[in-house]
Structure 1
Amino acid sequence: MKIFKKFLQILFICGLLGCITLVALYLYVKPDIPSVAVLKDVKLQTPMQVFTRDGKLINQFGEKRRIPVKINDVPDPLLKAFLATEDNRFYEHYGIDPIGIVRSALVLISTGEKRQGASTITMQLARNFFLTREKAYIRKVKEIFIAIHIEQLLSKDEIFELYLNKIELGNRAFGIGAAAQVYYGKSLDELTLAQMAMIAGLPKAPSALNPIRNPERAKARRNVVLSRMLDEGYISTSEYTQATNAPITATFHGAEIELYAPYISEMARAELVAMYGTEQAYNSGIKVYTSVESTMQAAAQTALRDNLYAYDMRHGYRGPVAYLWQNDSEEAVAEQELVQFLKGVSTQADLHAGVVMSVEEQAITVLTKDSERLTIDWEGLKWARTYITQSRQSFAPKTAADILNPGAQIWYRFDADGLPLLAQIPDASSALVSIDPKDGRIKAIVGGYSFEQSQYNRAVQAKRQVGSNIKPFIYSAALEHGYSLATILNDAPINHWDKSQGVAWRPKNSPPKYVGPIRVRRALAQSKNVVSVRLIRGVGVDTTADHLLKFGFKDEDIPRNETLALGSASLTPLELARGMSAFANGGHLVEPYFISSIVTSEDEVLYQAQPLLACSNEQRRKNEVLAEFAELEKMLADESNTDTQLAIDPQIDGLESQQEQTMPSCAPRVISEQNAFLIADAMNSAIWGGGSWQHGTGWNGTGWRATNLKRRDISGKTGTTNNSVDTWFSGFNANVMTTIWVGFDNPGNPLGRTSYNNNLDRGQIFGAESGAKTSQPGWIDFMRVALEDQPYAAVEPPEGLESVRIDLKTGLLSHNNDHTSRFEYFIKGTAPTRYVEKKPPVLFETQTPGDKSQPTEDELF
Structure 2
Amino acid sequence: MILLKRTLQFFIICTLLGLITLISLYYYVKSDIPSVQVLKDVQLQTPMQVFTKDGLLINQFGEKRRIPVTINEIPTPLINAFLATEDNRFYSHIGIDPIGIVRSALVLISTGEKKQGASTITMQLARNFFLTREKAYIRKVKEIFIALHIENILTKDEILELYLNKIELGNRAFGIGAAAQVYYGKELKDLTLAQMAMIAGLPKAPSALNPIRNPTRAKSRRNVVLGRMLTEKYITQSEYNDATNQPITAYFHGAEIDLYAPYISEMVRAEMVARYGIDKAYNSGYKIFTTVESKVQQAAQTALINNLHNYDMRHGFRGPVKVLWEQETQSVLSKSQIINELQNVQELGSLKIAVVVAVNEKTADVILKNGTQSTLTWDNLKWARKYITRYRQSFAPKAATDILAPGMQIWLRKNNDDSYLLSQIPEPSSAIVSLNPQDGRIKAIVGGYSFEQSQYNRAVQAKRQVGSNIKPFIYSAALEKGYTLASILNDAPINLWDKGQGVAWRPENSPAIYNGPIRIRRALAQSKNVISVRLLRGVGLQRTADHLLKFGFKDEDINRSESLALGSASITPLELARGMSAFANGGHLIEPYFISEIQDPYGNILFKTNPVVVCDEEMNKATTIPTNFTTQNNENETNQITQCAPRIISKQNAFLIADAMHSGIWGGGSWAQKTGWSGTGWRAQALDRRDLSGKTGTTNNSVDTWFSGFNKNALTSVWVGFDNPGNPLGRSTYNNNLDSSQISGAESGAKTAQPAWIEFMKAALEGVPEAPIEPPEGLISIRIDLATGLLSHKNDYTSRFEYFDKGTAPTKYVLSQPTDIFEEETKTEEELF
TM-score (norm 2): 0.92
Aligned 8 A contact 2:787 2:818 in 1: no
SS of 1:553's partner is: coil
Provide, for residues 777-825 of structure 1, a one-character-per-residue CA deviation record: whole Å limited to 9, x for no partner.
Answer: 1101111122222222111111221112111111122222111111111
The gaps in structure 1 that reach 5 residues or longer are: 628-659, 843-861
Question: 1:16-31 maps to which residues of 2 (within 5 A)?
Answer: 16-31=16-31
Percent of aligned pairs with the same amino acid: 72
2:475 alignment counterpart: 475
More helix by share: 1
Aligned equivalent of 1:693: 671
1:77-119 deviation per Cα after TM superposition (whole angstroms, max 9, x unaligned)? 3333323332233233322223332343344445544343321
User: AA paired with 1:743?
Assistant: G
Measure how far apart 1:560 and its partner are: 0.4
Aligned to 1:360: 360
Q: Is the 8 A contact 2:791 2:811 kept in 1?
A: yes
What is the identity, as a one-letter code, of the residue corresponding to 1:87? D
Cα displacement (A) at 1:769: 0.6
The amino acid across from 1:408 in the alignment is M
**Partner amino acid, structure 1, of 2:740:** R
Write out per-residue CA displacement over residues 523-573 of structure 1, whole angstroms, 9 at most, x where no aligned residue: 110111111111111111111111101111111000100010110000000
Matches of 2:249 and 2:408 in 1, distance apart? 33
Deviations, residues 176-226 of structure 1 (Å, cap 9, x unaligned) = 111111122222233334433332222222233333344444444434434
Q: Which residues in structure 2 correspond to 1:813-832 (within 5 Å)?
A: 813-832=791-810
Q: Matches of 1:258 and 1:163 in 2, distance apart?
A: 29
Aligned-pair CA distance for 1:138: 1.1
Cα distance, 1:244 vs structure 2: 4.9
CA displacement 1:20-49 (0-9 Å, x = unmatched): 211211122222222233323332222222
Range with greater deviation from structure 2 (774-783 or 404-413):
404-413
Select the residue among 726, 729, 738 that pairs with 2:716. 738
CA offset at residue 136 of structure 1?
Answer: 1.8
Does residue 768 of structure 1 match 2:746? yes
TM-score calculated relative to the size of structure 1:
0.89
1:4-83 equivalence runs, <5 A: 4-83=4-83
In terms of mean alpha carbon deviation, does 118-127 or 103-112 score higher? 103-112
- In structure 2, the CA distance between the partners of 1:686 and 1:601, relative to structure 1 (3 Å rule), is same
Residue 34 of structure 1 aligns with an amino acid whose one-letter code is P
Matches within 5 A, 1:241-390: 243-244=243-244, 246-342=246-342, 345-390=345-390
- 1:857 — aligned with what? none
Q: How has the CA–CA distance of structure 1 residues 218 and 329 changed in structure 2, closer, same or farther, with 3 Å as cutoff?
A: farther
Aligned residue for 1:600?
A: 600
CA contact (8 A) 2:610 2:640 kept: no
Unaligned runs of 5+ in 2: 625-637, 821-833
- Look up the match of 1:793: 771
Partner of 1:164: 164
Q: CA deviation at 1:335?
A: 3.2
Which sits farther off after the overlay, 92-101 or 578-587? 92-101
Distance 1:182 1:736 in 2: 39
Q: Residue 50 of structure 1 contacts residue 57 of structure 1 at CA under 8 Å; is this kept in 2?
A: yes
| TM-aligned CA distance change 1:37 to 1:777, over 3 Å | same
> What CA RMSD, in Å, does the superposition of the two structures yield over aligned residues?
2.4
Which range moved further: 419-428 or 331-340?
331-340
Report the more deviating stretch, 702-711 or 501-510: 501-510
Distance 1:112 1:385 in 2: 80
Question: What's 1:728 paired with?
Answer: 706
Equivalent residue, structure 1, for 2:657 = 679
SS at match of 1:619: coil
| SS of corresponding position for 1:670 | coil
Q: Kindly provide the CA deviation profile for residues 294-336 of structure 1, in whole angstroms up to 9, marking residues without a partner as x.
A: 1111111111111111111111222232333443444444434
821-830 or 349-358, larger mean C-alpha shift: 349-358
Contact kept? 1:802, 1:826, Cα under 8 Å: yes
Q: Residues 347 and 193 (structure 1 numbering): CA distance in 2 closer, same or farther, change over 3 Å?
A: farther
CA distance in 1, matches of 2:131, 2:479: 72
**Distance in 1 separating the partners of 2:233 and 2:488:** 95
Q: How does 1:81-480 map to 2 (within 5 A)?
A: 81-235=81-235, 243-244=243-244, 246-342=246-342, 345-480=345-480
**Of 404-413 and 125-134, the range deviating more from structure 2:** 404-413
**Residue 710 (str. 1) matches residue 688 (str. 2):** yes
**Segment of structure 1 superposing worse, 352-361 or 585-594:** 352-361
One-letter identity of the residue aligned with 1:831: A
SS at match of 1:17: helix
State the partner residue of 2:831.
Answer: none
Does the 8 Å contact 1:471/1:565 carry over to 2?
yes
> Which one-letter code corresponds to 2:692 in the other structure?
I
Is the 1:619–1:663 Cα contact (8 Å) retained in structure 2? no
| 3-state SS, counterpart of residue 643 of structure 2 | coil
Task: Single out whichever of 309-318 and 770-779 deviates more from structure 2.
Answer: 309-318
Question: Within 2, Cα distance between the matches of 1:484 and 1:414?
Answer: 51
2:823 — aligned with what?
Answer: none
**Does the residue aligned with 1:384 lie in a helix, a strand or coil?**
coil
Q: 1:607 to 1:139 in 2, by over 3 A?
A: same
Equivalent residue number for residue 856 of structure 1: none
- Specify the SS of the correspondent of 2:619: helix
CA distance 1:366–1:193, change in 2 (3 Å): farther
C-alpha spacing 1:339/1:103, structure 2 compared with 1 (3 Å): farther
**Alignment correspondent of 1:504:** 504
Q: Secondary structure at the match of 2:268?
A: helix
Secondary structure of residue in 2 paired with 1:552: coil
d(CA) in 1 for partners of 2:803, 2:393: 48
Distance between the aligned counterparts of 1:162 and 1:840, measured in 2? 87
**Closer, same or farther in 2 for the Cα pair 1:197/1:319, shift >3 Å?**
farther
CA contact (8 A) 2:50 2:59 kept: yes
Measured after TM superposition, the shift of residue 770 of structure 1 is 0.5
Aligned counterparts of 2:190 and 2:323: Cα–Cα separation in 1? 44
Which one is further off, 18-27 or 213-222? 213-222
Distance 1:473 1:839, change over 3 A: closer
C-alpha distance in 1 between matches for 2:87 and 2:374: 52
* Deviation of the 1:504 alpha carbon: 1.8
464-473 or 196-205: which moved more? 196-205
Q: Which moved more, 1:204-213 or 1:140-149?
A: 204-213
1:752 matched to 2:727? The reply is no
Q: How far did residue 477 of structure 1 move?
A: 0.7
Matching of residue 810 in structure 1 with residue 810 in structure 2: no
Q: In structure 1, the residue corresponding to 2:801 is in which secondary structure?
A: strand
Cα deviation for residue 266 of structure 1 reads 1.4
- Larger deviation: 73-82 or 42-51? 73-82
CA distance in 1, matches of 2:156, 2:746: 74
Query: Kindly tell me: are residues 221 and 687 of structure 1, through their superposed partners in 2, closer, same or farther at Cα, counting changes over 3 Å?
Result: same
* 1:833 pairs with one of 808, 811, 815: 811
